[in-house]
Every structure is written in structure tokens, then in C-alpha cells.
Amino acid sequence: MHRALPVPVSVDAIAERLGGTVSGDGDRRIARLASLDAAGADAVSFLSGRRHARSARASGAAALIVSPALQDEAPEGAARILVDDPYVAYARLSQWFEALLAPVQGPASIDPGARVDTGARLGAGVAVGPGASIAAGARIGDGCRIGAGCAVGEGASIGAGSILHPNVVVYAGVTIGARAVVHAGTVIGADGFGFAPSRAGFVKIAQLGSVRIGDDVEIGANCAIDRGALDDTEIADGVKIDNLVQVGHNVRIGAHTVIAGCVGIAGSATIGARCMIGGGVGISGHIEICDGAIIGGFSLVERSVDEPGFYTGAWPLQPHVQWERTAATLKQLPRLRQRLRGLEARSGEPKDSE
């Protein structure tokens, strides 16, 4: 659990911040935001749905953020902060607590151990960490924080208010919008994977395109987002990408799409807006996924998805011995179907409409 706020806040102050109303003791002092199970007498928690009602009633929380419909599920004696959407309220409150917990920082500064090229343009209030390098022609917007060990290439552009955590690499010419968060170790703009086979071996296709990333995009740790071959790789506004995700060259990802960890997206795939891509999914190259599609974790999308909906494809876990048997039988599946047909024909079964 996070450490206590240096100066606790009142239930009333939290409610005011969230635009909610208080039922109970608004003067109680709150020093932590905690899950229902972990919350103690100095903590506020939240109830986001009926299936957590039992945990809510048993919680030791001093205050509960809850919707009017579920307010009777609060633990006895706890103050209630009534809001329309407790989960969104929790998200907002987490941001406030994070700010209250942050160490007081001096004015933003360029670490003496950073190397900022004289040809780079930095906005107001930019912080650059030790060991970071910013090349000629790069533009860093107001209030950006460039972490230790980051490398920003020539002519790259990063919008105002963006945060690069340590050791992020932004290749030359890449464009990132405002308020981006890029976690440590992520690489944006490496060469797409393109080689022309010839008798003399593979000939590298220089990747002349770049990467263009919109506003309010968050990218997790150790991802790899490749630059385009001729056109650009594009990630639209509001996209959220988890850790260890590969985005191939010339991929396009629509606005507000969410991509979980360990996903691999092959070159020139197009993913619509407001999609949800589960963890470990593979997306083949040159296909399209329409707006609003949901892909279950660990699935391979090898053809275009034209209709919104929830799609999945993954072998269900089995005891290993059973799996061996099932896998062996699977290989005979087309033959089994033929045999079934043969039996049906002999038994005078009406022909199946397959």
C-alpha cells in the first residue's frame, strides 16, 4: 500500500474534488486510497459494482466512494461519497493523491549530465534527466520531462506536457503529440522489417517513413513501434498501449483503442477506433480490424474483422495427458467429419446443409 499522505484530507474535500455529495461524517481525515480489503481507518475506498458488495460491507474503510444505487453496501459507520461513476471517481482521486504524495520538486532543469544539442529547441519548463541526449533539430514542447538516459533523435518532435520515462529511444523524425506518457525502455521509430530477396541475398529496404503519434497517448515499457517504409506508422489520439507491444511498420491504430501487453501487430495492419485488443494477441499484416472490435487475449487475427463484436481464438488449457490425446485427435478432424458423413449417408440421414 502507498504511504500515508503527508497532510491528510477530509472526506468533504474529497467529495468536493470529485463533484460528489457526502452522507455521514465529512470531517473524517483520510490519508490513503486503498482497495476494499486493505483499507483501514485512515483510508477511502470505492465500490465499482455489485459483485464487490460483500467486500464493501466488510471493509475497514473510513469512507466509501459509491453510487447512489449501492450506497446501502457501505461498511457500517463509514462516510459515503456519492458519485455517478465510482470507478471514474477513483481514477480522478488516484491522480490527486499521486500529486499530494509526490516529493516537492524544484524548478524543471536540464541535468548537467544531459547532452542537448545547440540545434534542439526546448519549450519552457522542460526537464532533461542525467545521461539523456537530444539531437539537433529536435523540438521538445513546454513542460516535457525527458527521463534519464533517453535518446531523442534529429528532428523528432514531442508535444507539450509529455513524459518520457528513463531510457526511452525516439528515432530521428518521429512525431509525438501532447501529454504523451512513454514508459521506460520503449523504442519508437526503429526501422520496419523490410528486405527484398535477391540472388545476392536480402537487400535492405531503407525505412524512409516515420512514426506519427497523436495526443494523450500512453505507451508502456519496452515496446517497439517501427517507422514506416514509405508512408508513416500512425497512432491516433488517446490510444493506450501496455508493455512489450510490437507495432510493425505502416500500422495504423485508430483513436482511443486500447492494446494490452505482449501484443504483436505485423506490418500494414489497420486497427480501428475504440477497439480493445487483449494481451498476447497477434495481428497479421495487411489486414483491417473495424472500429469497436474486441479481441480476446491470446488470439491470432489472421483475417480482417469487418463487424464489431467480441472475437476469440485460443486452445483451452487441459491436463497435459488429455491435451496430448486431444491434439493427436485434432489432426484427424477432417477425416472424422468424412466418416460421420459416410455413416449419415448409409443411415439415410438427410444431407447436412454444410
253 near its own copies, judged by CB under 8 A: no
CB of 88 to its own copies, least distance (A): 5
Among residues 17, 121, 139, 256, the one that binds its own copies under rule CB under 8 A = 256
- The rounded distance, in Å, linking the Cα atoms of 290 and 82 is 37
Nearer to its own copies, 68 or 342 (CB): 342
Which of 16-24, 61-69, 70-78, 274-282 is the region at the interface with its own copies (rule: CB under 8 A)?
A: 274-282
Residue 70, CA atoms < 13 Å, CB-side half-sphere: 24
Give the residue with the Cβ less far from its own copies, 7 or 321: 321
Say which residue the cell 542537448 belongs to. Answer: 116
Residue positions annotated with a catalytic role: 249
CB 126 within 8 A of CB 132: no
Applying CB under 8 A, the span of 21-29, 31-39, 54-62, 138-146 interacting with its own copies comes to: 31-39
In terms of CB distance, is 27 or 344 closer to its own copies? 344
- Do 289 and 304 form a contact (C-beta atoms < 8 A)? yes
Of 20, 175, 232, 236, the one binding its own copies by CB under 8 A: 232
Per CB under 8 A, 246 contacts its own copies = yes
Compare residues 72 and 95 and give the one whose CB is closer to its own copies.
95
191 makes contact with its own copies (CB under 8 A): yes
Q: How far apart are CA 239 and CA 255, in angstroms?
A: 6
Question: Could you give the CA distance from residue 236 to residue 267 in angstroms, rounded to a whole number?
Answer: 17
Backbone angles phi, psi at 101, to 5 degrees: -85, -20
Residue 340 binds its own copies (CB under 8 A):
yes
Closest among 181, 179, 131 to 152, alpha carbons compared: 131
- Residues 113-152 touching its own copies, rule: CB under 8 A, are 113, 115, 129-133, 136-137, 147-149, 151
* CB proximity list for 153: less than 8 A, separation 6 or greater: 135, 138, 169, 170, 171, 172, 173, 174, 189
The footprint of its own copies on residues 153-182 (CB under 8 A) is 154, 165-167, 169, 171, 181
Residue type present at position 17: R
**Least distance to its own copies, CB of residue 89, Å:** 9
Residues 6+ apart with CB under 8 A from 130: 111, 112, 113, 114, 148, 149
Contact segment (CB under 8 A) with its own copies among 14-22, 52-60, 64-72, 243-251 equals: 243-251
Give the span between the Cα atoms of 244 and 221, in whole angstroms.
Answer: 6
* Cell output for 207: 525505412
**Contact stretch for its own copies (CB under 8 A) within 59-67, 74-82, 120-128, 240-248:** 240-248
Give the total of residues touching its own copies (CB under 8 A): 142
Cell numbers at 158, concatenated: 514531442
Instruction: Look at the alpha carbons of 288, 215, 116, 150 in this order and tell me if their dihedral is positive or negative.
Output: negative
Which one among 53, 184, 273, 290 touches its own copies, defined by CB under 8 A? 184
Binding mask 285-324 for its own copies (x = CB under 8 A): ---------xxxxxxxxxx-x---xxxxxxxxxxxxxxxx
CB of 81 to its own copies, least distance (A): 16
x-or-dash string of contact with its own copies, 53-92, rule CB under 8 A: --------------------------------x-xx-xxx
Cβ atoms of residues 224 and 244 within 8 Å: no
Residues facing residue 80 across a β-bridge: 23, 64
User: According to the binding rule CB under 8 A, does residue 27 interact with its own copies?
Assistant: no
> Which of 80, 261, 271, 275 forms a contact with its own copies (CB under 8 A)?
261
